[in-house]
Structures are given as C-alpha cells and as structure tokens.
C-alpha cells in the first residue's frame, strides 16, 4: 500500500505524529485495561437525614412525605426510593445519564433550604453523597507481623503521595469506641434526669458559645481530651441544676469487631485497602507498592482485584521483548540489516502509540483479547504485504454499515469494537507509519521477510498436501466425518454464551440485597454465605468486601468445582451471581403497594402459602421485616398541665430506649472514634406499665394513672418506591411461567386494597450473545463469488473452533472473535497460496510452546489463543483441501 502524499506533507505529518506521541505519553496512566462492560453502572444520589429517637412511622409522616413532595419539583432523576428507619431517613435518587449530577445536587439542596419549614425543627441537616458503584480497582495490603516495626502514618503518607491513589482505607482488626452506659434503674429515681435530657444535654453541650458565670466570660466548649473526662460533663436537670454525667453513667473504652472489614478466607485482620480509578493505574500502583513495601516488612500485598489481567499483560510484554530481541539478532547481527530491524521495531511502536491514543480518546478499554491480537500482529507484520488491502474497499464499507446495525439491535456486543478497531488500524495505520519512517530516512529497503524462511516443513506438508487424483474409500469416509461434524457443531452458532470467560483464575461474584435491607441483616447473610462456601471447600481463595446493599466476592475456585454448586447457598433475601455469566438461579422481585402498611403486610402473608404451593417455585423469601408488637400510649393533657410535667420526658420518650446512638466523635490514639450513648435495658414489655416517670418538679408519676395504653404494630423499616408504600417478596426458581403466576396473583388480590405493582428480574451479570451474527458480519469481508470454496471452508472452520473452545477450554466470545479476525488479517495481507505458510510459521509454533512452558503465574490465555489460531489454520486448510478434491474428482 503506497501513500504518495507522505513525501509532500512529511513535516506536517511529523508534527501530527509528534503531538500524538506527546499526548500518549502524558496520558499513559489513563489507558483503560480490561474488557468493556456491557452493563452501565448507574450512579445514585443518596440523601441521609437523622432525627434521633423517632420511630419509623414518625420518620415517614414527618420527614419522608415532605421530602417526596418537594422532590416532585426537581428534574434529573429516574427513580426515587426511600427508607424510613428508626431515627433516620435514606433517600436514593437514580440519576438520569444525560443530566449533570452537580446540577441535580444543587437543585435538591436549594429546594430543601426553601422548604425547611415543612420539616421538624430539631431534625439534623441532610447529608448528600453520590454512591459510586465503580470501585473495581483495588489492592489489599495485610499486616503480617503483630509488632509494629514501622510507622503506619509513614506508610499511609507514602501511599497517599502516589497521585493516582483515589482512596485509602485503613481497616484495623478491631475497632475501639467510647461507650456511655446508663443503667435504667437510675432513671427511676426522682433526683435523676431522664434519658432524653441526657441525650439532648450531651448534644447541646458542644454547640455554640457558652458563658462562665463565675468569671463572666464567654468561651467555645471543647471536647474532652481523654475518654474518662466525658464523666465530668454537666447535665442540666430541671430545678436540681446540673448533674455530673459520671454520677448516672459509666464511661468505658470498648474494643469491638470491625463489621465491614475486608476478609480473606473468612478471617479479618489489620489491612489497608487502596483504590484507584483505572486498570492501568492499578498496574502502576502495584509496581510502586512493591518498591515501597521493601521499607515496611510488616506489610505485604495479599490480593489485587485485576490480578489475572496484569499477569497476562506482563506475560505478553515478556514475549514481545523476546520476539523483538530475536528479530534484532536475526536481522541485525546475522543478516546485517540493521535498517530493516530498526524500521520493524520503531514502526510497530509508533503503531502502538497511535492505537492507544485513539483508545484513550474514545475511552475504549483493551483487555486480554486485544493484547493477544496486538502480539499476533507483531509476529506477522514483517511478513505481510499491504497492497492487497485495496481490493477490499467496498467490503469494508458494507462491514461498517452492518456492524452499526447489529450493535444497535444488540445482536453483537459493543465490546468487540476494540478488536475490529485494532484490525482496521493494522491494515491502514501500520503501513502508513512504516512509509513515514522511510521517507524521513530517505532510504529504500525490502520490508517483507519471506514466510518460507521461517516455515516448519513437515507442518507445511501436513497443512498443504498434494491433491488426490483417485479418491477412494478413505476420502469418502473423511467427507462423511466432515459433514457429520459440521452439523453436530453448527447448532452452537445459535447458542448464547458470555463475552468473556467465566473460568478465569480469579472470579468476581456479587451478593446483592434489596435497598431496604438493614445493615445488620446484610452482615449476617454475608457471613452466612461466606461460611457456607468455606465449609464446602469450593475455593482456594475467598476475598469478601462489603458495600452499601451488596457484598463483593473474589474467588479462586478449587479444581473440579462447578459454578452451579453456588445455587445452593443460603442467600435468603439476597441473590448471588457471577459478574461474568448468568446467575446461578433466576431471582425475581414482586412488589406490592398499599397506603396502609399493616394491611399490606397482612395481604402479602396471606399470599405466601399460595406461592409456596406451586411446584415451579423453589423458594419464597420475604423482602421486608415483619412488624413487631408494641405499645402506644397517650397521656391526659389536663393532668400533665396540673402536674407541671414537660412534654419531652413524659410523652416523647419515657426512658428513651434507643439503639446505641452516636452522640459525638473524638480522637483516640491518632484515630477518630465514636462516642455512643447506650442504655442497659432490663425492663420487659410486660413491666413497662409499672415503670414510673420522673417529672421536672421531682415527683414520680406512675403510668397507669397518667397514660392510656394500647397494642400497635411497629415497623422497623418502611419502604417507598416512587412515593408508593411498598413491600416486596423474592421468588427463586428456574424457567418460571410468569404469565400464569402473575394472573394468579392478580386474581388472588382482586377483592383486596393491596395491588400487585410490578415484577423486576434481577441482573444476572453480563448478557450473552450468539456467534451466528458475528459470522454474518465477518462474511461481508470474506465472501467473494470466485472464492466460494474458501468461504464454505471458513464457516466450517468457525463451527469446529467454537466446539474446540467450548470442550477444551471455555466459551469466550472475544477470544473467538479475535481468532477469526486474525485469520481475516491473513486473508487481507497474505496471498492465498502462502497462507498455509503463516500457520506453520516458527513464530506461531514457538509462541504456542513457550506459553505452555511459561514458568510464572500465567501463560494460560496466550496458550489457549495461540492453540485456537493454529487449530483454525489447520481445519481451514484441511477442509479447503477436501473441497478442492471434490471439485477435481
């Protein structure tokens, strides 16, 4: 392929390529490694707001509903979910992809400030956080020595100094917290404050400016320096003045287990979790950490989330340098052709820079298949002529048009685009780079090596035997075997399979929970699933990290472990699935709505026996917490006024029986720890009526004479979706007849106020695709009337290789697509009579052998790819040879 304009515009082209090289070097850290994700990560705006001591019903009525009302005037979100919990509210706004997230955040903040009068006066200001569900690139460090031989702060500072570290999380083996424990018996004394007064006094103690009456000076209240100094805080208590907190409560420093620590094989330890935002940056980060940890021998790298990709990348770099060294020795030292050796090496580097520049420009990630494709191109660039590419201009135009249609119809994955992009760049950019170098050198040289020089003779004879003049019985039997094999394998073209392999050494799985699941339930079920996996010895390595409403599992499966075994895990309201591949079993969520949550729960509980009676349904799991029995009390306002009883200690809460509530934070041994107010509860519900309530005037009021009691249903959490009070149940099974089931549910609820709202199918990892559409796509490039035998042989070979891949290795769409595109590259650049020489080439067989005996942790993916490339050439030549013999016989 010639480029006559190169000589006329060589200096302009030099400036353009110089700019591309400069930008590529500056942006090298932003190269995306890893195969493209088909499913886009949805970003969510999370709004949390605290109103301490309030029940879920109070939160719903006074906080949730005003929020839902004012958010109706805000644009930019697709879905709104809310959870009214004990003492706090959480709102989840699913962002619209085309709407700027900064503008949405500003709109929500403004509309809240303008409508603050609709919320309770003592409610805390809301907190706004974007939930980024994209933290896939991390490295886990483990402390291997208990004695602290090096400074943690020094290690932290050196890691944070690396400019592409986005998040540093230190995870101690145990956490410490300061607990202020109040005994309820002390609350029964008339001379002691109530729990509400204790809580509010602690909160207000550190707010604003205080006055020292003895000195008549104002000062800002400081937090205690030492934990035990919390006991000296003065609590204001009605007519009795101030009471020291130490007189009514015990202050203790407790050591508690860290609930959200990253665990390895079920064990929690002192660790550091380091996040970055791209695969290439993680590779650079890991290389830097290896050097840093030499100065910190008590820490080691225990896990890297992209371990396999980086192992394969390092392996390919090793083989690239090996091939480069061989060409330099052969051409430079042996043939004395230093110019040709320089042009081959430098033109390929320039080609790589251009390719990676455009991959970065269009934010296209490159994974294992892309790197192997580049490696194969490196092997064969010295042997090919690019003049034949001009014969395929019309076919290339039709290919681009059909590719756009198939991607729009979602019949082929967009992930295959990176391989197609490399394919076309190899046909146009590489010869252009090579010619540009020769123009500047002002030298002419032969830039094509002879394929026959590097052939393996006996393999060439096997691939390209002489035509059979008198075919006999063996020839007929071979034809029947070929025909039977084709029809046996061709059905695989219509079978859907994953884009990438699910049998890699590191597998990524998720245990996902409904949004309204409590943190304690998520922790419990995650531990339950983790212990089940470890007890069955299904993995060699199990790393578990917990995030909001899901747990991430990284697994190295033991030999002969079938992924279908994971369908038996006790996941309860969660669903477990591998990110690459389908879920181990189908999980569907049914949502029901009713404005009255009590009636809604009753209706769903009545429906459960009918669902469980169906044979197709394996398991039915409640997606909500059942209401618990509680007491509702109402005081006589006339008696309250006469007795000078305040509203807070008598009506709001009698003993303020909270869950452990964080009232402050303070530094302790160079760490920020929680200060929690706790109540030692010894009162049962039956004895609650007998508990007297102290009033501000010092008298005791017994509840039977002061309040009226009635039994109620208490909801731990109330869930809204798009302002509708909702409850959900999870249905687990395989190939369920949903039309019949949904009709039965609607018929069951036809006389009920509860409505069946929707069914949501859980995400099951990456979607699967059928290879037949990719075969149709590449047929546009390969098919020509005069070469119909070659096309038939091409299709037969694809079916055989698909079967080989699925039997010997595992089904991988991108790997198979790469193998097909490699052969298309041969057909575009090598004459048909010489193509058998390409498949019997020393470089292919040598790479196949070396990747098999590769001594380090890797070589598997390259070996599989080189084996499939060789097998493709073998079957193609054999089937073509047979078809030609049929024509001549």
pLDDT digits (tens, 9 = 90+) for 63-79: 999 999 999 989 889 89
pLDDT of amino acid 820 = 92
| Count of Cβ atoms closer than 10 Å to residue 65 Cβ | 16
Closest CA to 200 of 230, 236, 227: 236
pLDDT in tens, 654-704: 434 445 567 777 777 767 777 877 776 655 555 555 555 555 555 555 555
Token pair, residue 524, equals 């419990």
Residue 58, phi then psi, degrees to nearest 5: -65, -40
**CA dist., res. 867 & res. 849, Å (int):** 9
Q: Is 815 helix (H, G, I), strand (E, B) or coil?
A: helix
Write the DSSP string, 216-285: TEEEEPPPPSSGGGGGGPEEE-GGG-EEEHHHHEEEEEEEEE-TT--EETTEE-SEEEEE-SSHHHHHHH
Q: Helix axis angle, 788-808 relative to 771-782, nearest 10°?
A: 150
**CA dist., res. 873 & res. 823, Å (int):** 8
Find out whether 197 and 237 touch, Cβ atoms under 8 Å. Answer: yes
- What contacts 784, CB < 8 A, 6 or more positions away? 791
Query: Which pLDDT band holds residue 110 (cuts at 50, 70, 90)?
Result: very high
Residues facing 45 on adjacent strands: 93, 130
pLDDT of amino acid 108 = 92
Highest mean pLDDT among 112-121, 358-367, 498-507: 112-121
What domains are there in the chain, each with its CATH number? 5-36+310-498+768-888 (no CATH), 44-131 (3.30.70.1430), 138-173+258-304 (3.30.70.1320), 176-257+628-714 (3.30.2090.10), 503-583 (3.30.70.2730)
pLDDT of amino acid 122 = 78
**CA dist., res. 27 & res. 495, Å (int):** 40
**CA dist., res. 257 & res. 250, Å (int):** 21
Residues facing 761 on adjacent strands: 588
pLDDT of amino acid 268 = 81
Find out whether 600 and 593 touch, Cβ atoms under 8 Å. Answer: yes
Query: Which pLDDT band holds residue 582 (cuts at 50, 70, 90)?
Result: low
pLDDT of amino acid 109 = 92
Residue 256, phi then psi, degrees to nearest 5: -125, 155
pLDDT of amino acid 781 = 84
- Arithmetic mean of pLDDT, 359-370: 82
Residues facing 256 on adjacent strands: 175
Residues facing 263 on adjacent strands: 268, 544
Note the maximum CA span of the chain. 121
pLDDT of amino acid 616 = 82
Q: Is 635 helix (H, G, I), strand (E, B) or coil?
A: strand
> How far, rounded to the nearest angstrom, does the alpha carbon of residue 57 sit from its chain's CA centroid?
34
Highest mean pLDDT among 228-232, 379-383, 506-510, 715-719: 379-383
pLDDT of amino acid 648 = 37
Find out whether 87 and 51 touch, Cβ atoms under 8 Å. Answer: yes
SS (H, E, C) 124-165: CCCEEEEECCCCCCEEEEEECCCCCCCCHHHHHHHHHCCCCC
pLDDT of amino acid 654 = 43
pLDDT of amino acid 652 = 38
pLDDT of amino acid 3 = 55
| Count of Cβ atoms closer than 10 Å to residue 291 Cβ | 8
Which residue in the block uniquely carries the two structure tokens 């380091």? 274
| Count of Cβ atoms closer than 10 Å to residue 433 Cβ | 21
Closest CA to 686 of 617, 631, 620, 649: 631
Closest CA to 128 of 46, 44, 183, 227: 46
Highest mean pLDDT among 117-131, 828-842, 846-860: 117-131
pLDDT of amino acid 107 = 92
Token pair, residue 421, equals 């992009």
Residue 106, phi then psi, degrees to nearest 5: -65, -40
Residue 99's Cβ-side half-sphere holds a number of Cα atoms within 13 Å equal to 19
**CA dist., res. 554 & res. 102, Å (int):** 33
Find out whether 853 and 319 touch, Cβ atoms under 8 Å. Answer: no
pLDDT of amino acid 220 = 61
Token pair, residue 143, equals 């402390």
Q: Any idea what the Cα angle at residue 237 is, between residues 236 and 240, rounded to 5°?
A: 115
- Arithmetic mean of pLDDT, 89-94: 90
| 305 has pLDDT over 60 | yes
| 871 has pLDDT over 70 | yes
pLDDT in tens, 518-539: 777 888 889 899 999 999 888 8
Query: Which pLDDT band holds residue 96 (cuts at 50, 70, 90)?
Result: confident
- Arithmetic mean of pLDDT, 413-428: 87
**CA dist., res. 169 & res. 545, Å (int):** 12
Token pair, residue 457, equals 């003779």
Residues facing 694 on adjacent strands: 700
Token pair, residue 199, equals 């809580």
pLDDT of amino acid 651 = 39
| 822 has pLDDT over 80 | yes
Per DSSP, helices labelled H in 627-668 are 637-642, 647
pLDDT of amino acid 63 = 93
> How far, rounded to the nearest angstrom, does the alpha carbon of residue 456 sit from its chain's CA centroid?
46
Per DSSP, helices labelled H in 708-830 are 738-748, 771-782, 788-808, 813-829
Residue 883's Cβ-side half-sphere holds a number of Cα atoms within 13 Å equal to 18
Residue 703's Cβ-side half-sphere holds a number of Cα atoms within 13 Å equal to 22
Find out whether 616 and 538 touch, Cβ atoms under 8 Å. Answer: no
**Sign, Cα dihedral of 233, 236, 237, 243:** positive
Q: What are 531-538's contacts with CB under 8 Å, separation 24+?
A: 531/266, 532/569, 532/570, 533/566, 533/569, 534/265, 534/266, 536/565, 538/565, 538/566
Mean pLDDT of the chain: 78
pLDDT of amino acid 38 = 46
| 869 has pLDDT over 50 | yes
Find the distance separating the first CA and the last CA of the chain, reported in whole Å: 39
pLDDT in tens, 448-496: 777 777 777 767 676 666 666 556 666 677 777 777 778 888 887 888 7
Highest mean pLDDT among 55-64, 539-548, 696-705: 55-64
**CA dist., res. 525 & res. 572, Å (int):** 7
pLDDT in tens, 215-226: 666 666 666 778
Residue 75, phi then psi, degrees to nearest 5: -105, 160
Residue 427's Cβ-side half-sphere holds a number of Cα atoms within 13 Å equal to 22
pLDDT of amino acid 723 = 86
pLDDT of amino acid 66 = 93
**CA dist., res. 535 & res. 239, Å (int):** 61
| 632 has pLDDT over 50 | yes
pLDDT in tens, 763-804: 655 667 888 899 999 988 888 777 788 888 888 889 988 888
Q: Is 307 helix (H, G, I), strand (E, B) or coil?
A: helix
pLDDT of amino acid 877 = 84
| 832 has pLDDT over 80 | no
- Arithmetic mean of pLDDT, 140-169: 81
Whole-model pTM over 0.85: no
H/E segment holding residue 373: helix 368-380
- Integer CA distances (angstroms), 406 to 414, 580, 582, 734, 770, in order: 9, 22, 22, 29, 12
* Burial class of 541 by CB neighbour count within 10 A (0 to 12, 13 to 18, 19+): middle
- Arithmetic mean of pLDDT, 639-652: 50
Find out whether 108 and 71 touch, Cβ atoms under 8 Å. Answer: yes
| 844 has pLDDT over 60 | yes
pLDDT in tens, 306-347: 777 777 777 888 888 888 888 888 888 887 888 888 888 888
**CA dist., res. 187 & res. 654, Å (int):** 9
Q: Please report, rounded to a whole number, the percentage of residues in the chain having pLDDT higher than 70.
A: 75
Which residue in the block uniquely carries the two structure tokens 């109620």? 712
**CA dist., res. 304 & res. 33, Å (int):** 14
pLDDT of amino acid 435 = 78
């Amino acid at each position: 392929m010639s480029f006559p304009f190169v000589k006329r515009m060589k200096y302009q082209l030099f400036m353009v390529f110089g700019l591309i090289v400069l930008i590529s070097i500056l942006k090298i850290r932003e190269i995306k490694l890893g195969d493209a994700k088909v499913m886009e990560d949805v970003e969510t705006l999370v709004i949390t707001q605290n109103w301490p001591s309030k029940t879920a019903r109070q939160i719903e009525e006074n906080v949730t509903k005003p929020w839902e009302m004012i958010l109706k005037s805000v644009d930019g979100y697709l879905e709104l979910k809310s959870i009214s919990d004990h003492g706090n509210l959480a709102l989840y706004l699913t962002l619209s992809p085309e709407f700027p997230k900064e503008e949405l955040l500003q709109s929500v903040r403004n509309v809240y400030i303008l409508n603050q009068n609709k919320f309770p006066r003592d409610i805390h200001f809301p907190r706004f956080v974007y939930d980024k569900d994209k933290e896939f690139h991390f490295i886990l460090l483990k402390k291997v020595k208990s004695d602290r031989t090096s400074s943690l702060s020094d290690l932290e500072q050196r890691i944070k100094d690396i400019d592409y570290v986005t998040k540093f999380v230190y995870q101690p083996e145990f956490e410490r917290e300061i607990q202020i424990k109040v005994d309820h018996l002390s609350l029964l004394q008339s001379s002691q404050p109530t729990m509400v007064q204790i809580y509010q006094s602690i909160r207000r103690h550190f707010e604003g400016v205080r006055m020292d009456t003895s000195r008549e000076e104002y000062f800002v209240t400081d937090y205690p320096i030492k934990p035990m100094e919390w006991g000296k805080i003065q609590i204001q208590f009605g007519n009795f003045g101030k009471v020291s907190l130490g007189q009514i409560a015990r202050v203790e420093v407790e050591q508690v287990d860290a609930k959200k620590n990253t665990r390895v094989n079920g064990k929690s330890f002192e660790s550091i979790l380091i996040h970055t935002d791209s695969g290439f940056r993680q590779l650079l980060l890991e290389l830097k950490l290896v050097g840093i940890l030499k100065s910190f021998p008590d820490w080691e790298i225990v896990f890297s989330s992209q371990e396999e990709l980086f192992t394969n990348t390092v392996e390919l770099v090793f083989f690239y340098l090996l091939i480069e060294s061989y060409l330099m020795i052969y051409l430079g030292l042996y043939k004395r052709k230093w110019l040709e050796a320089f042009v081959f090496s430098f033109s390929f580097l320039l080609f790589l820079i251009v390719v990676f520049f455009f991959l970065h420009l269009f934010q296209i990630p490159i994974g294992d298949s892309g790197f192997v494709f580049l490696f194969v191109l490196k092997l064969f660039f010295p042997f090919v002529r690019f003049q034949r590419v001009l014969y395929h201009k019309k076919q290339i135009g039709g290919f681009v048009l059909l590719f756009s249609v198939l991607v729009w119809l979602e019949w082929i994955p967009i992930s295959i685009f990176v391989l197609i992009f490399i394919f076309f760049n190899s046909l146009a950019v590489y010869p252009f780079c090579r010619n540009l170098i020769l123009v500047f050198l002002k030298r002419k040289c032969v830039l094509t090596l002879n394929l026959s020089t590097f052939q393996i003779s006996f393999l060439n004879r096997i691939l390209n035997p002489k035509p059979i003049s008198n075919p006999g019985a063996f020839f007929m039997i071979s034809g029947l075997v070929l025909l039977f094999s084709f029809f046996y394998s061709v059905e695989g073209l219509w079978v859907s399979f994953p884009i990438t392999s699910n049998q890699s050494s590191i597998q990524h799985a998720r245990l996902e929970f409904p949004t309204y699941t409590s943190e304690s339930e998520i922790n419990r079920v995650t531990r339950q699933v983790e212990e089940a996996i470890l007890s069955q010895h299904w993995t060699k390595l199990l790393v578990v990290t917990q995030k909001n409403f899901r747990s991430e599992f990284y697994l190295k499966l033991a030999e002969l472990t079938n992924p279908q075994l994971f369908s038996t895990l006790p996941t309860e309201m969660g669903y477990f699935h591998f990110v690459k591949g389908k879920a181990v079993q189908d999980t569907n969520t049914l949502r029901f709505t009713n404005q009255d949550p009590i009636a809604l729960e009753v209706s769903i509980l009545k429906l459960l026996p009918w669902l469980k009676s169906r044979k197709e349904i394996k398991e039915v799991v409640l997606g909500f917490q059942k209401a618990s029995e509680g007491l509702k009390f109402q005081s006589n306002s006339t008696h309250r006024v006469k007795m000078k009883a305040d509203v807070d200690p008598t009506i709001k809460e009698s003993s303020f029986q909270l869950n452990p509530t964080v009232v402050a934070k303070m530094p302790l041994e160079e760490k920020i720890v929680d200060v929690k107010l706790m109540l030692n509860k010894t009162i049962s519900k039956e004895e609650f009526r007998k508990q007297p309530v102290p009033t501000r005037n010092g008298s005791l009021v017994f509840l039977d004479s002061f309040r009226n009691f009635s039994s109620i249903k208490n909801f731990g959490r109330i869930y809204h979706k798009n302002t509708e009070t909702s409850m959900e149940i999870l249905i687990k099974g395989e190939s369920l007849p949903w039309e019949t089931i949904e009709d039965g549910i609607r018929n069951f609820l036809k006389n009920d106020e509860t409505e069946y709202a929707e069914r949501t199918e859980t995400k099951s990892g990456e979607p699967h695709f059928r290879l037949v559409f990719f075969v149709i796509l590449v047929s546009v490039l390969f098919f020509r009337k005069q070469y119909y035998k070659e096309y038939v042989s091409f299709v037969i070979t694809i079916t055989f290789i698909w079967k080989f891949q699925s039997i010997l290795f595992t089904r991988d769409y991108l790997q198979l697509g790469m193998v097909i595109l490699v052969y298309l590259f041969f057909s575009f650049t090598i004459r048909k009579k010489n193509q058998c020489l390409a498949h019997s080439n020393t470089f292919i067989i040598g790479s196949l052998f070396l990747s098999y005996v590769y001594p380090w942790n890797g070589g598997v993916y390259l070996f599989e790819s080189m084996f499939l490339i060789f097998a493709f050439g073998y079957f193609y030549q054999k089937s073509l040879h047979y078809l030609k013999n049929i024509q001549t016989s």
